[in-house]
Amino acid sequence: MTEVAFHFNAPDKIAYACRFARKAQRSGVRLVITGPADTLAELDGMLWNMQPQDFVAHCGSDAGEELLRFSPVMLALDVRQAPHQEMLLNLGGAVPEGFGSFERLVEVVSATDEADRGQARARWRHYASRGYAIMRHDLVLKAD
């Protein structure tokens, strides 16, 4: 069964996704990041503009087969066709279709956006009602 974790109180979800992707890449974990198209476009730009020592090799789900196979991080609107299913990071408001094929799912929740927080509560209820044990990580407490 997919391991589900919620990372709460992210001051900036896109910046957090960049750090998360860097950490995943450094630990050898293959990551798929999903969310709305505009969010993924913003994230793509931020990933390309990271400092050289922090560079995260990544591609979009529309890349060629070879690039998809070798990229440790993939940005995807639809995760059902992802070439690897180790970890999924969700920046969107809905439960990602096909999340159950991943070993781990991480949900990122804003510290200040009440609409995002409400959507996260609905996703939490969805996973809990289906028997997923949910891990909670409060990013504010972690920073202290």
- Which domain CATH number covers 47? 3.40.50.10110
- 6 found inside a domain: no
Q: Is 7 exposed, middle or buried (0-12, 13-18, 19+ CB in 10 A)?
A: buried
- 139 found inside a domain: yes
- 2 found inside a domain: no
- 62 found inside a domain: yes
- 97 found inside a domain: yes
The DSSP line for 86-143 is SEEEE-SSSPPTTGGGSSEEEEEEESS-HHHHHHHHHHHHHHHHTT--EEEEEHHHHH
- 19 found inside a domain: yes
Under DSSP, the state recorded for 79 is: G
> How many domains does the chain contain in total?
1
Highest mean pLDDT out of 61-70, 89-98, 135-144:
89-98
Q: What is the pLDDT of residues 12-59, one digit of tens each?
A: 999 999 999 999 999 999 999 999 999 999 999 999 999 999 999 999
Output the pLDDT for position 143.
53
The CA distance from 85 to 12, in Å, is 25
Output the pLDDT for position 81.
83
- 5 found inside a domain: no
Structural domain including 102 reads: 11-143
The CA distance from 141 to 143, in Å, is 5
